[in-house]
């Protein structure tokens, strides 16, 4: 019995492999560029009053915080919506969240950090955990940046809090390679990653201490942002007030 060997055209196969590899190289290069740019020496100039106030509370990780604050400008956080229009964190349509979409990502991020400072000062928390809680507040919405979401390949398709966790882990890991800071460690990196990854996905009762703080301050910040919206409006109907 004879058999014939048919030639298989692998042109498309190799073309797809090449395109996939090229895309992977591009993503990797962009990831390294984002991290590399922000890890270069940076000056504490052109900071807003809010940013200077935040840095005044940082003792052990000031350079790290400065780089992340500057990175918000590099990534144009002031041009990114802080929330998906028309939806709250549980995916339900809500009037209040359609209002909050007008608040940009940089403003909201700074609001959360500032609220965290006020909350922790009342709690009289020690310096090291104080800074960790502020770091989590600063990083918690970085995954909403389209640039980060698109360029961090391991997080594509995931929720913003998980993208934030992936970004934070890579950023802190790269930071440790170039900076010898005893307060920026593998343990800190893993703590930040685990806390951010679980944000919005578990109940406050099941969260660790840092995540409980983050959940609380994030929600209270949104309430405060809504209150300011109501105060700034010249007229608000009773129906709209009830919806908010």
Examine residue 3 and state whether it is found in any structural domain, yes or no: no
Number of domains in the chain: 1
* pTM of the entire predicted model: 0.76
Examine residue 4 and state whether it is found in any structural domain, yes or no: no
Q: How confident is the model at residue 169 (pLDDT cuts 50, 70, 90)?
A: very high
Q: With 0-12 CB in 10 A as exposed, 13-18 as middle and 19+ as buried, what is 61?
A: buried
If you average pLDDT over residues 93-117, what whole number do you get? 84
Examine residue 1 and state whether it is found in any structural domain, yes or no: no
Residue 35 has what pLDDT?
60
Residue 122 has what pLDDT?
93
Examine residue 132 and state whether it is found in any structural domain, yes or no: yes
Q: Residue 37 sits in which domain range?
A: 11-243
Whether 87 and 93 have beta carbons less than 8 Å apart is answered as yes
Q: How confident is the model at residue 92 (pLDDT cuts 50, 70, 90)?
A: very low
Residue 208 has what pLDDT?
84
Whether 101 and 64 have beta carbons less than 8 Å apart is answered as no
Highest mean pLDDT among 4-8, 26-30, 135-139: 135-139
Which residue carries 């990502």 as its tokens? 105
Which residue carries 């909050």 as its tokens? 100
Q: Which residue has the higher pLDDT, 139 or 205?
A: 139
User: Does 88 have pLDDT greater than 70?
Assistant: no
Q: Which residue has the higher pLDDT, 85 or 69?
A: 69
């Amino acid at each position: 019995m004879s058999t014939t060997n048919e030639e298989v055209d692998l042109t498309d196969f190799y073309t797809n492999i090449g395109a996939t590899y090229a895309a992977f190289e591009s993503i990797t290069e962009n990831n390294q560029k984002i991290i590399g740019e922000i890890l270069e020496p940076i000056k504490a100039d052109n900071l807003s009053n809010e940013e200077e106030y935040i840095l005044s509370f940082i003792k052990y990780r000031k350079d790290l915080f400065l780089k992340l604050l500057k990175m918000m400008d590099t990534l144009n956080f002031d041009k990114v919506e802080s929330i998906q229009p028309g939806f709250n964190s549980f995916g339900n349509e809500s009037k209040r969240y359609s209002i909050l979409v007008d608040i940009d990502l940089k403003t909201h991020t700074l609001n959360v950090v500032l609220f965290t400072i006020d909350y922790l000062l009342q709690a009289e928390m020690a310096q090291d955990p104080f800074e960790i809680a502020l770091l989590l507040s600063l990083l918690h919405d970085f995954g909403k940046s389209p640039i980060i979401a698109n360029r961090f390949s391991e997080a594509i398709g995931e929720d913003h809090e998980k993208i934030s966790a992936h970004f934070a882990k890579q950023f802190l890991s790269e930071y440790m390679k170039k900076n010898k800071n005893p307060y920026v460690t593998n343990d800190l990196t893993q703590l930040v990653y685990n806390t951010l990854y679980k944000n919005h996905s578990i109940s406050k009762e099941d969260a660790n201490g840092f995540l409980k703080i983050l959940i609380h301050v994030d929600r209270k910040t949104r309430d405060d942002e809504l209150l300011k919206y109501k105060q700034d409006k010249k007229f608000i109907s009773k129906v709209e007030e009830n919806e908010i």
